[in-house]
A and B are shown apart, each in its own frame.
Chain A
Amino acid sequence: METSVLTQPVCKFAPWDNPAQKPLVRFENVTKKFGDFTAIENLTLNIYEREFFALLGPSGCGKTTMMRMLAGFEYPTTGNIALANTNLQKAPPHKRPVNMMFQSYALFPHMSVEQNIAFGLKQEKTSKAEIKQRVEEMLSLVQLEPFAKRKPHQLSGGQKQRVALARSLAKKPKLLLLDEPLGALDKKLREQTQFELMNIQEQLGLTFVIVTHDQEEAMTVASRIAVMDHGKIVQVATPAEIYEYPNSRYSADFIGDVNIIEGKIDVTTGETASLNWAEGETPLKVSTKQRPNHGTTCWLAVRPEKLRISKEKPENADNCIKGEVWDIGYTGNISTYHVKASNGSILKAQVSNREHLADRPITWEDTVYIHWEKGAGVFLEN
């Protein structure tokens, strides 16, 4: 597996690689149809205990449907969903050890922050003293102690988000579902809250499933990501794996920025394939363990930050494309050069701006060389 290539901490958390580990959540050949529309198609997926699992995809890809099936608001048309080895087939939402944090937060407007957090505990005949203690714990967890008596309409967006989180955590669910939990927050607060969510998840040792369309958010918080498209899972892997070794153009394109070059196989020698990508250009080399036949159409994906750009033709580069600077996207910390190759396609190369603006030599309409190692690209067959 490619996983071995990545540098991982010594005691890594990877229950999905351990065949002895029993998954907490199991989707088995789940299909969900709404009338003629198939929202989820024959989907099988395991989620393990203490995971922070992200369902990532564009709107309408079925990620919310999956979450709603876990919560019990929808039932699968065919197939099974099991939670900790109990079949959830017919369990109504109020009988599942699963809690959800809603995208709209769904705070009860007629109840104070305290009452909102205590709501779930009250349904369980928990003693008054225990409820009080638990509510206090939750309030301190989300740092909202001074707001206990307030009503939701007196809170800011970020505070509401915390109350919603505290409410869904109060019952210590086996599984916490988060439906676009940070969607309504501004960028700064969102980034800060992402780390808080991760800390809370680790601190409480719970299993989180998050639904998001924001790939950066998924990359930051998740232990594993399932990239979804049209009711199907395209790839399930750790954020680094998906980023470095996407299994398809869809995953490569959905996570991060990428250059995808289409071509036909020239020759495959050892673990290197050569790709004819444009008339009169040297074939591009890419490392792969597959042995594709000569003439098959395939793709080379390479991340913009892995490309190097220079005004002089480099010596001994595995791949080198000559082009013209078409556009420069300057975002402060990095500059993205859009370089037009001989066949008209645009390649993006990112350079971090270590020097001051005036010292940077490359500018519009310069002739430049883009080059990269054969290991930097990924060979894709679909």
Chain B
Amino acid sequence: MTVADITSPTDETSKASGTKADWGRTLLIAIPYIWLLIFFLAPFVIVFKISLSDVVIARPPYFPTFDLSEGWQGFLAMLQAFDLENYVWLTEDTLYLNSYLSSLKIASISTLLTLCIGYPIAYSMAKAPQEWRATLLMLVILPFWTSFLIRVYAWIGILKKEGFLNYFLLWTGIIDEPLTILNTDTAIYIGIVYSYLPFMVLPLYAVLEKLDTSLLEAATDLGCSPLKSFWVITLPLSLPGIWAGCFLVFIPALGEFVIPDILGGSSTIMIGKTLWVEFFSNRDWPVASAVAILLLFLLILPIVLFQKQQEKQMEVSR
């Protein structure tokens, strides 16, 4: 062992051969950027603009509007008419804060539930004999072949007072009185867990399937019981899958509108539902836009923090 071994050999990055390759690379990278620019940044700017406007009874139902014919002066006039009134309004009425908090709570709990149910499924799929795995994977994706909306509606038939679940439980004698599940938070949890389970199972399966079994053999060989080796080897090594699955469930669950609307009760407030009411019932586009923008920041923050944390960890291990 010499000092030379300490510095690991750095990969010699091949120098770009000529401008032709550079052009091709630029073009390749440009395509997704242009896509994001058109379909994400532009709508975001429009929504942000509306969120700074005032509500009016007109078409479109906000003011000021951007009119190209008025030129530069018109643009400046529009800028002057902008204010943060709608954002101030969101802080004044507790409804919005409660919606955000309630959404956070429901999304967090259902993400946790999905993880608890999804992990064993993914684990047993990864441990299944090779020839079964494709079929099992197929079964996980199978629900997507039916419309999401229809599947959520189908849960009404299962969960309602005279539904299949109550019928079955009464028949087995576990309960004497039918349970009230539909139109409660429980129904929302069931709906979210059911709908988003594949998004949890798939990334977890991808990680667990690649897990080197010789690592577990090495752990047991060194005196670690099989149960403990799950906690010290399998679980830490599947963390990337856990994070990916949790984000894939948490983010859509936070803004979920359909499931609380169909399965939840009138007392359940979620930010997605509040947004819908502002937009369609109150026709207050500017406030609805402000809610949407805040929701976006609420989501971006944890993602950015998570990525920073990941980067820091990579730095430490280097």
Contact = CB atoms under 8 A, between A and B. Distances in A.
B233 interface: yes
A135 to B, nearest CB: 13
A99 B217 CA distance: 11
A263 interface: no
Contacts of A156: 5, 8
Given A104-B212, A144-B1, A120 B222 contact: yes
Nearest to A164: B218
A92 B5 contact: no
A159 interface: yes
Nearest to B225: A94
A124 B200 CA distance: 36
B52 to A, nearest CB: 47
A159 B225 contact: no
B8 A154 contact: yes
B218 A100 contact: yes
B207 to A, nearest CB: 12
Contact of A106 (B6, B218, B236): B218
Contacts of B19: none
Contacts of A123: 222-224, 228
Interface residues of A, number: 32
Contacts of A108: 215, 218-219, 233
A124 B223 contact: yes
A194 to B, nearest CB: 17
Contact of A93 (B212, B214, B217): B217
Given A110-B236, A144-B1, A167 B217 contact: no
B221 interface: yes
B25 interface: no
Nearest to A150: B317
B215 A93 contact: no
B318 interface: yes
Interface residues of B, number: 23
Interface string B222-236: 111110100001001
B41 interface: no
A71 interface: yes
Contacts of A92: 220
Nearest to A151: B317
B212 to A, nearest CB: 7
Nearest to B229: A94
Given A102-B218, A106-B214, A120 B223 contact: yes
A143 B317 CA distance: 21
A94 B233 CA distance: 15
Contacts of A326: none
B237 interface: yes
Most buried by A among B6, B219, B226: B219
A110 B232 CA distance: 10
A19 interface: no
Interface in B134-173: none
A146 interface: yes
Interface of B: 1, 5-6, 8, 212, 214-215, 217-226, 228, 233, 236-237, 317-318
- Give 7 closest A-B pairs by Cβ, nearest first: A120-B222, A123-B223, A106-B218, A106-B214, A93-B220, A94-B220, A143-B1
